[in-house]
Amino acid sequence: MSFTPEELREATTQLADTVARFARSEIAPHATEWDQAGEFPRQLYRRAADLGLLGLGYPEALGGTPAPYALRMPAWRALCRHGASGGVQASLFSHNIALPLVVALGAPEVQREVVPPVLAGEKIAALGITEPGGGSDVAQLKTTARRDGGDYVIDGEKIFITSGMRADWFTLAVRTDAASKGAGGISLIVVPGDTPGLSRTRLDKMGWLSSDTAHLRFDGVRVPARYLLGAEGAGFKGIMGNFNGERLGLAAGAVGFAEACLDEALSWARQRSTFGQPLVAHQVIRHKLVDMRQRICATAAWLDAVAARADAGDTSPDWVAEVCTLKNQATQTMQFCADAGVQILGGMGYMRGTVCERIYREVKVITIGGGTEEIMKELAARQWGF
């Protein structure tokens, strides 16, 4: 889909407005209650699908709506700003890290089987890469998929898997060549969630409370060989490419969550009075708000620039390095704004139910998931040839 600059501006504003309305009315009012319950209702997937949000960026033939990054990133930012729940965002959109690999590498009949029901909000998809033995060093993963006639038989474990308790489909990284120790023996395969031999254990965590996170065990899980995504041994390249989209999405989300902290802090600073004047009239508080906004503006401008390069088809080492460092920049912006927001709210910022309190707990995972801060720097250094 191609847009003139004018059309893109209009479509972006319209979509961001729709998303903001959805997030304000159907996520934000329930975020605390869903955190307490440890999950959000499954019907939210249908609602997001009806608005076209789950299918954004996917081919029409599979039930999606093609959309450039320049359109998707502002929508994602608006969802996180106005919904202000990392837990909902992580699980409601877990398909965005699982399905791109199916669309890019899956056989047409596998794409048709897996993708449309997920984009319609009827099924849930999750990505399983990380293992108890390590997440950063993907090339060392140990879960095996052994060819047996027309099937693959999978044995191993995955950990910290978002939507892992509820997922109907897993996109799984496996080692198909047991003899190979490195990246060369890694493949990707889809696994139906109801396959015998797959067991799941719920994990409790610091934030993202309404998102289900699981430890998965695969004991002789048998799936048809047609579920292999791409060629045997070609999985590592697919995983690395997929990370770029995930990291851009995380950066956009982090900007949105930073904005959510600023919104709440500004509103609080206007209505609360100390020493005879509103908080916002105290220069120290005003400057904290300006510092938040300054970081948000700078990060958002960089996000737009990196997204525009993606839409122009740039996959150069320099662009990859910018994606990695943008993820770190956006996370630090979110950390700064969550910290300043809690401080401006004072004791109230430490109480469950405020946006700043939730985001202060949730930001830590953004420094870890989708590639840790340290690994982002390593990758960037390598891409830039330092």
Q: In the bound complex, what is the minimum distance in angstroms from residue 373's beta carbon to ligand FAD? A: 7
The angle subtended at Cα 164 by Cα 135 and Cα 183, nearest 5°, is: 30
How many residues form the binding site for ligand FAD (CB under 6 A)? 22
Window 353-372: residues binding ligand FAD (CB under 6 A): 365, 368-369, 371-372
Q: Which two tokens stand for residue 179?
A: 């003899």
Q: Is 205 in the site for ligand FAD (CB under 6 A)?
A: yes
C-beta contacts of 350-358 below 8 A and 24+ residues apart: 352/32, 352/35, 353/32, 354/264, 355/84, 355/260, 355/261, 355/263, 355/264, 356/261, 356/264, 356/265, 358/31, 358/32, 358/35, 358/84, 358/85, 358/86, 358/207
- Name residue 42's amino acid: R
Among 103, 234, 348, 375, binds ligand FAD (CB under 6 A): 375
* Residue 275: other Cβ atoms inside 10 A: 7
Question: Which is nearer to ligand FAD, 83 or 371 (by Cβ)?
Answer: 371
Work out which of 100, 135, 235, 253 binds ligand FAD, going by CB under 6 A.
135
Q: Is 60 a catalytic residue?
A: no
- Of 131, 232, 246, 362, the catalytic one is 246
311: CB partners within 8 A, 6+ apart: 68, 69, 70
Residues facing 154 on adjacent strands? 145, 221
Q: Which is nearer to ligand FAD, 17 or 137 (CB)?
A: 137
Which helix (DSSP H) or strand (DSSP E) does residue 113 occupy? Answer: helix 108-119
Which of 62, 80, 129, 355: binder of ligand FAD (CB under 6 A)?
129
Run of H or E residues at 219: strand 213-224
* Residues between 286 and 345 that touch ligand FAD (CB under 6 A): none
Do the bridges between strand 198-202 and strand 273-274 make them parallel or antiparallel, or are there none, so unpaired?
unpaired
Piece in contact with ligand FAD (CB under 6 A), picked from 20-28, 124-132, 174-182, 271-279: 124-132
Q: What does the per-residue mask of binding to ligand FAD show for 157-196, with x meaning CB under 6 A? A: ---xxx----------------------------------
According to CB under 6 A, which one of 89, 96, 130, 335 is a site residue for ligand FAD?
130
Fill in the amino acid letter for 273: S
Residue closer to ligand FAD (CB basis): 149 or 385: 385
| Residue 201 touches ligand FAD, criterion: CB under 6 A | no
Please spell the DSSP secondary structure of 147-215, one letter per residue.
EETTEEEEEEEEEEEETTTT-SEEEEEEES-TT--SGGGEEEEEEETT-TTEEEEE---SS-TTS-EEE
- Quote the least distance from Cβ 311 to ligand FAD, whole Å: 26
Planar angle of CA 284, 285, 289, nearest 5 degrees: 120
The residue among 121 and 371 lying less far from ligand FAD, judged by its C-beta, is 371
Interaction with ligand FAD in 206-225: which residues (CB under 6 A)?
A: 208, 213
Query: Least distance to ligand FAD from the beta carbon of 140, Å?
Result: 10
Q: Which is nearer to ligand FAD, 132 or 317 (CB)?
A: 132
253: which strand partners? none
| Shortest distance (Å) from residue 56 CB to ligand FAD | 19
Q: Which residues are catalytic?
A: 246
Residues near ligand FAD (CB under 6 A) are 126-130, 134-136, 160-162, 205, 208, 213, 365, 368-369, 371-372, 374-375, 378
